[in-house]
Amino acid sequence: MHSAGTAEVSICEVGPRDGLQNEPEVVPTAAKRELIQRLAAAGLRQIEVTSFVSPQWIPQLADAEELVRELPRLVDVRYSALVPNERGYERFRKAALAANRHDLSVHPDEKGVLDIAALFVSASETHNKKNVNCSIAESLARFRPVIERARVDGVSLRAYVSTACGCPYEGEVSVRNVVKLVQQLAELGVAVISLGDTIGVGHPRQVCELVAAVAGEVSLDRIALHLHDTYGRALANVQAGFEAGVRTFDAALGGLGGCPYAPGASGNVATEDVADLFESAGVATGIALEALVDTTNWLARDVLKRALPGRVYRARLGARKQNEAKAT
């Protein structure tokens, strides 16, 4: 990675949604709120907090409305939530109206508003059907009324393109298919499109080629990468994406996450690992790494009560213990 002292990257924290929805136990709302508060205190300014998918399918996030009401109102923090369809958007809208003091649009001096709705679609037909029980074309058709309502409401839109590097059912996914889907989403008015390596099969050269292909159609300031670490290549793919021009990366503290419709897929790239990679190279993230390590340790030890797969947080904790032992 080329160090660039003035360069900056943006990390979108997806742990409270993409991570906790895959946990076998339901995390209490109070703990979710504290997690979000801690993440913001550590410097995260984009946090995906919950999902308005039916609680029948994701009971771990059934408290979406309650959580949104209790979101900490912090300067310069923007919250997003997953929205599957128009019914989900209506839930999002009502919750956001209540939390944002009856105004869905963003104001420069506003604090901690829920103002970003995140859509999702797969680049492979089979995964899309497994995930949302419809074709890609049907998904795009379902988005249209949501996008129109969001435009009127002043809500920004984000969209995830899953299986961009490979599908658990179809195998290789054509770059052409991904680019076409990105074009369609951009034309519909989606502000940020996050390309997801859902099963973690991508490799650096593939990521570079994918980003280059997408860059030929859509400005890279509208593109994010959402990388899973199934084969241990997520961090290398982050670096490849950065070298190719991407400046926004999704991550989940501790490496939380997975996908119920992607057998064998492991969690997201860990937020601490991404922050450490960039900060070590002189690329600013705005994240206080030690505070983030404390947050991940708190979540693992006190809430989930199990170790998480992230590397940097474990290494930092180990170094602290070593230093404490030397001090005594």
What SS3 class is residue 78? strand
Q: Give the count of beta carbons closer than 10 Å to the beta carbon of residue 24.
A: 6
3-state SS track over 2-45: CCCCCCECEEEECHHHHHHHHCCCCCCHHHHHHHHHHHHHCCCC
CA distance 280 to 119: 33
Residue 129 CB neighbour total at 10 angstroms: 17
Residues with Cβ within 8 Å of residue 154, at least 6 apart in sequence: 104, 105, 106, 115
**Relative orientation angle of helices 136-153 and 125-132, to the nearest 10 degrees:** 60
Q: What's the half-sphere exposure (Cβ side, CA atoms, 13 Å) at 84?
A: 15
Say whether 165 is catalytic.
Answer: no
Any idea how long the chain is? Answer: 328
Reduce the DSSP state of residue 228 to 3 states and report it.
strand
Q: Which two tokens stand for residue 237?
A: 């793919």
Displacement of CA 220 from its chain's centroid (Å) = 17
**Nearest residue to 84 (alpha-carbon basis) of 3, 172, 160:** 160
Written as one string, the DSSP assignment of 131-178 is HHSS-HHHHHHHHHHHHHHHHHHT-EEEEEEETSS-BTTTBS--HHHH
Burial degree of 263 (CB within 10 A; 0-12, 13-18, 19+): exposed
CA-to-CA distance for 312 and 255, rounded, in angstroms? 10
Please pick, among 12, 165, 167, 259, the residue that the annotation labels catalytic. Answer: 259
Please give the positions annotated as active site: 259
